[in-house]
A and B are shown apart, each in its own frame.
Chain A
Amino acid sequence: MSVQAAAHAEHPATNTGMSNVKVGMWGFLASECLLFGALISTYLLYRGRVGQAGGPIPHDVYDIPFTSVSSFVLLMSSLTMVLALAAIQRGDERRLRVWLVATALLGMVFISGQVYEFSTFVEEGLTLKTNVASTAFFVLTGFHGAHVSIGILMLLSLWGISHQGKLPPSRSEAVELVGLYWHFVDIVWIVIFTLVYLVPAPAGAGGG
Chain B
Amino acid sequence: MATEVLPQRRGWTLHRPTATTGVWSWITTVDHKRIGILYGVTAFVMFLAGGVEALLLRVQLATPENNFISAETYNQLFTMHGTTMIFLVIMPLSAAFFNYFLPLQIGARDVAFPRLNAFSYWVFLAGGIFMYTSFFLGGAPNGGWFGYAPLNTEGGVLDVVRTHNMDFWVLGLIILGIASTVSAVNLLVTIINMRAPGMTFMRMPVFTWMTFVVQFLLVFALPIITVALFELLFDRLFGTNFFNVLNGGDPVLWQHLFWLFGHPEVYILILPAMGIVSEILPVFSRKPLFGYAVVVFSGIAIGFMGWGVWAHHMFAVGLGPVANSAFALSTMFIAVPTGVKIFNWLATMWGGDLRFKTPMLFAIGFVAMFTIGGLSGVTHAIVPHDTQQTDTYYIVAHFHYVLFGGAIFGLFGGAYFWWPKITGKLLNERIGKANFWLMFLGFNLTFAPFHILGLEGMARRTHTYPEGMGWDFWNMVSTVGAFLIAVSVAVFMWNVMRTRTKGEVAGDDPWDGRSLEWSISSPPPAHNFDEIPEVHEVDDFWHKKYAEDEHGRLAPAVAGGAGYGPSEAHAGGHGDGEHGGHEAIHMPSPSYYPAFTAIGFPLLAWGLIFSPALIVIGAAILLGGLYGWALEPSAE
Instruction: Of the listed stretches A25-33, A90-98, A109-117, name the one at the interface; the rest are far from the partner chain.
Output: A25-33
- In the assembled complex, the CB of A33 is this many whole angstroms from the nearest CB of chain B, namely 8
**Does A53 touch B at the CB level, under 8 Å?**
yes
A15 to B107, CA, bound (A): 13
- Write out, one digit per residue, whether chain A residues 18-54 have a CB within 8 A of any chain B CB (1) or not (0): 1011011001101110110111001001100111110
Residue contact A20 to B194, C-beta cutoff 8 Å: yes
**Chain A residues near B536 (CB-CB < 8 A):** 3, 6-7, 9
Residue contact A129 to B239, C-beta cutoff 8 Å: yes
- In the assembled complex, the CB of A31 is this many whole angstroms from the nearest CB of chain B, namely 5
Q: Which of B2, B189, B222 has the most CB of A within 10 A?
A: B189
- In the assembled complex, the CB of A82 is this many whole angstroms from the nearest CB of chain B, namely 23
**Chain A residues near B231 (CB-CB < 8 A):** 42, 139
Residue contact A38 to B240, C-beta cutoff 8 Å: no
Residue contact B200 to A14, C-beta cutoff 8 Å: yes
A8 to B212, CA, bound (A): 28
**Chain A residues near B239 (CB-CB < 8 A):** 129
15 extra interface residue pairs, beta carbon distance < 8 Å, beyond A6-B536, A20-B113, A23-B192: A3-B561, A14-B199, A15-B192, A28-B181, A30-B220, A38-B223, A42-B227, A46-B249, A52-B248, A53-B246, A128-B240, A133-B248, A136-B242, A139-B240, A165-B1
Residue contact B219 to A14, C-beta cutoff 8 Å: no
- Write out, one digit per residue, whether chain B residues 216-245 have a CB within 8 A of any chain A CB (1) or not (0): 000111111011101100100011111011
**Does A12 touch B at the CB level, under 8 Å?**
yes
* Chain B residues within 8 Å of chain A by Cβ, number: 59
**Chain A residues near B226 (CB-CB < 8 A):** 35, 38
Residue contact B192 to A165, C-beta cutoff 8 Å: no
- Write out, one digit per residue, whether chain A residues 146-171 have a CB within 8 A of any chain B CB (1) or not (0): 00000000000100010111100000
**Does A77 touch B at the CB level, under 8 Å?**
no
A38 to B232, CA, bound (A): 13
Q: What would 30 A/B residue contacts be, using CB atoms closer than 8 Å?
A: A4-B561, A14-B199, A16-B193, A23-B189, A24-B185, A27-B184, A31-B219, A37-B224, A38-B226, A39-B227, A42-B231, A42-B257, A45-B250, A45-B253, A46-B242, A46-B248, A49-B248, A51-B241, A51-B248, A128-B240, A129-B239, A131-B241, A132-B242, A134-B241, A139-B230, A143-B230, A157-B630, A161-B631, A165-B1, A165-B2
A136 to B226, CA, bound (A): 15
- In the assembled complex, the CB of A171 is this many whole angstroms from the nearest CB of chain B, namely 10
A14 to B202, CA, bound (A): 11
Residue contact B193 to A15, C-beta cutoff 8 Å: yes
Identify the closest chain A residue to B200 (Cβ): A12
- In the assembled complex, the CB of A180 is this many whole angstroms from the nearest CB of chain B, namely 14
**Chain B residues near A46 (CB-CB < 8 A):** 242, 248-250
- In the assembled complex, the CB of A207 is this many whole angstroms from the nearest CB of chain B, namely 11
- Write out, one digit per residue, whether chain B residues 241-263 have a CB within 8 A of any chain A CB (1) or not (0): 11011111110010001000000
Tell which of A42, A163, A164 touches B242, judged by Cβ atoms closer than 8 Å.
A42
**Chain A residues near B257 (CB-CB < 8 A):** 38, 42
- Could you tell me which residues of chain A, from 156 to 208, have a CB within 8 Å of some CB in chain B? 157, 161, 163-166
Tell which of B189, B241, B544 touches A3, judged by Cβ atoms closer than 8 Å.
B544
Residue contact B248 to A131, C-beta cutoff 8 Å: yes
